[in-house]
Amino acid sequence: MNWLLRFLLSSVAVVLTCYLLPGADVTDFWTAMIVALVLSLVNIFIKPLLILFTIPVTIISLGLFLLVINALMILLTDYFVDGFDVRGFWWALLFSLILSLFNSLFDDLFTPKEARKR
């Protein structure tokens, strides 16, 4: 049940982020659910490979290159999902930052205090 709540909250975070950014659009909540699903799959399978291949650049940039990788994951999700549009790299970078903030906020709000202490 916990994964279903996290998935729905991630979809809400996608909708809220698109509402805040003029450079990102999602057509409806169902599309936001697909975006959340595809983004999680991309983050599970592709992102670790990119991180592995770009370790030297990440070290030289003191980890800031991870923001670039996050933006690339958003752009890849944009490519795969119809009804989701991000208008460029900088909007994708901002989208990833705001989406991370919303997901972190939702995680803090909906995680019981006992589970946070572990």
pLDDT (average), residues 7-32 = 97
The answer to whether residue 118 is domain-embedded is: no
pLDDT at 34: 98
pLDDT at 19: 97
Which residues does residue 84 pair with via DSSP β-bridges, in sequence order? 26
The answer to whether residue 106 is domain-embedded is: yes
What is the band of 113 on the pLDDT scale with cuts at 50, 70, 90? Answer: confident
Instruction: Report how many helices (DSSP H) and strands (DSSP E) the chain contains, helices first.
Output: 7, 2
pLDDT at 2: 87
Task: Give percent of the chain with pLDDT exceeding 70.
Answer: 96
* CB burial string 94-118: b at 16+ within 10 A, e below: bbbebbeebbeebeeeeeeeeeeee
Domain total of the chain: 1
- The DSSP output letter for 84 is E
How high does pLDDT run on average in the chain? 94
The answer to whether residue 31 is domain-embedded is: yes
Which helix (H) or strand (E) segment is 86 a member of? Answer: strand 84-86
The answer to whether residue 62 is domain-embedded is: yes
How many residues belong to the chain? 118
pLDDT at 112 over 80: no
Structural domain including 72 reads 2-112
pLDDT at 48: 97
